[in-house]
Amino acid sequence: MAESSEVAPLIPHTASVAGQAHLLLTDAELWAVAPGHAYGLIAITAFDFLAYVLFVVRHGLRRRLLTAWALVKLGLFLGDVLTAPEFGLSHLEFAAYLFGLPGYVVAVIAQPLVVAAVLLTGKGDSGKGSHGSTRPQFS
């Protein structure tokens, strides 16, 4: 069972990468109107692959890295709405556009799922659970 808890955060992380790839490959507006955003998304996706490599190296590091990176990505993806004036759109119009893109929706939804998977399957910093569980207590 320990193996599945170690792999659990990678499931939504992989969904996020797939959503990002979908955006890069299918959103012509991204490349035509906001190439800087496209290159930023390429950088985010490249860092995601680095996270996969680090995931193999150290259990404690990978869990902290995936959690922090998911929170940063969530902030970046949601903060993208604030760039609406650059494109002559209201924030609401741009949000409607972004949330109409399946890849964007998958990428946004995947971030809290990565954090949840890490928290719900966590066994402490060492990954061995020797100091008791750090799982959230719901009371």
pLDDT for 137 beyond 70:
no
Residues 6+ apart with CB under 8 A from 85: none
Residue 58 CB coordination number (10 Å): 12
pTM: 0.82
The reported pLDDT for the residue numbered 59 is 65
Rounded to whole angstroms, the Cα distance separating 69 from 37 reads 18
pLDDT digits (tens, 9 = 90+) for 1-36: 446 777 888 899 999 999 999 999 999 999 999 999
Domain residue ranges in the chain: 2-121
Rounded to whole angstroms, the Cα distance separating 23 from 121 reads 30
